[in-house]
Amino acid sequence: MARQRPKAPGQRQLRIGEELRHVLAGIFEREAFRDPALYDVRLTVTEVRPSPDLRHARVYVVPLGGGDMPKILEGLKRVKPFLRREVASRVTFKFIPDLIFAADTTFDEAEHISRLLHKPEVARDIWGDETADALPRRSDEEE
């Protein structure tokens, strides 16, 4: 049997994901959690990806100011019933998806790519010798 490519998310999935993201971001902004892993931790919800049947939603989070991500994810898993109740009270969905929390690593990947592109040997390949020499050097390259 041939493998099928995963379909791009539909308009409904995108709309539901964006609404869930706004609601969860509001909850994280206003609520103080008693869980020790989440106490005094500020979280940003970067994306919510609902499954095609809308029964599950993967929630990508980033702690502001850093933090121990594995402990934060465990804490979010423990407060998931509370979060689902809060989401249910703020939206009018037929059913509330099961929330699956994951660390968002896109910012780390973007920083890594940026660092690679600013290396002198890479810049020379991309922009040519004259332009690469004129580019400003990043402070972390000099170390």
Domain boundaries, the chain: 11-104, 105-143
Question: Would you give the distance in Å from CA 142 to the centre of its chain?
Answer: 31
11-104 under CATH 3.30.300.20, yes or no: yes
What are the beta bridge partners of residue 48? 59
pLDDT value of position 65: 79
pLDDT at 6 over 80: no
pLDDT at 72 over 70: yes
Kindly report the pTM of this predicted structure. 0.74
Question: pLDDT category, 86, cuts 50, 70, 90?
Answer: very high
What are the beta bridge partners of residue 56? 98
92-139 pLDDT, tens digit each: 988 899 999 999 887 777 778 788 777 777 777 777 665 545 555 655
Rounded CA gap, 29 and 69, in Å? 18
Tokens describing residue 140 = 């972390």
